[in-house]
Amino acid sequence: MSTSGKLHLAAHMINYVVALPLMILGIVGVILSMIVFTLHASFRRNTTINYLMAGSVLAGIHLLIVDIQTMLVGGFDFGVYNTNEAVCREHTYIRYVTTVSTICFPCWAAFDQYVGTSRDANFRNRWRSMRFVRLAIICTVIFWILTYIPIIFTSEIIDGTCQLRQSPYKLFNTYVLTPLVHIIIPALVMLYYTRGTIQNLRSAIVQSSHEHLAKQVRRMLIPQLFLLVVSGVPFGLEGIYYYLTSNVQRDANQIALENLVSQIIMLFYHFNFIFTFYIYVSLSSEVRKALRKTVLQGLRKLQLCSRHVKVGNLMLRHSHHTLAPPIET
């Protein structure tokens, strides 16, 4: 087998062996996070959790729509968005909107933690009301839906690959928008609001009044923001590299190698969508307790349903034997 063939095989194996199980793990995590956060009142009332729930919803949409299409192309050689212009535009547009919206909600959550530890009651009441949280979530999604509308008109199939064609918007997206939302904003948010939250917590008054759940939410949030920043760097640099080398002629080996590296970078970046809930579970005893309670309740309901089904079957059998006419001889 040639070198390019081996590299293409390695890229396919990443999708078979790694990406598919991780996608299933991510979808399970999204479902569990929605169940746990919505069934328990203490989570529903927590403003930071509401931002994280919004992020989970967008992550679920991304995994179910974008990642499935990507896996069909990268792992199984199905054309999908590389052969159909309409699907290409749909895939690219939804990928950008869901990715960037998902990034924004942990940033909003970090801001919410900063506000929640402030000693200024008016400041807390203004920026931490549930009304403001819902408005921020809706406006964030709408903002990115409108911002990425040009993607629909600049996406096309070039040389058998769905991509953005050369245009001023592609230049702006590559050098400004992508580095801004994938690297710069998460990094600044993590540094500024985490530092501000720590400074606020140095006050004895805030520390004494700060609830246990809020401390655990903060502990859950910092690793998520850190993962966003770390995974965003290679993702942003990859776009710049492809833009700078768009006119460079590549041989089969280089194309295969770049495809393999791109698969690895994309997989690493998707850790943000896959492992979020598992970070919450590992770092928060409150989430573990709620998850355990939810699972036990679900098992009890399954047991009750199983018993009702067995009782119903026994009653049907009994009634069948009772009502059956005698056999004439």
251 Cβ neighbours under 8 A, 6+ residues apart: none
Q: What is the mean pLDDT of the chain?
A: 82
Band of residue 308 on the pLDDT scale cut at 50, 70, 90: low
What CATH architecture applies to the domain 3-283? Up-down Bundle (1.20)
Most confident of 54-58, 248-252, 306-310: 54-58
- pTM here is 0.81
Domain spans of the chain, in order of start: 3-283, 285-321
- As a whole number of angstroms, the distance between CA 133 and CA 126 comes to 10
Closest-CA residue to 246 (of 135, 321, 182, 171): 171
Please tell me the predicted confidence (pLDDT) of residue 230: 81
Q: How far is CA 268 from the centre of its chain?
A: 13
Segment 167-178, tens digit of pLDDT: 899 899 989 998
- Enumerate residues 6+ apart whose C-beta is below 8 A from 45: 130
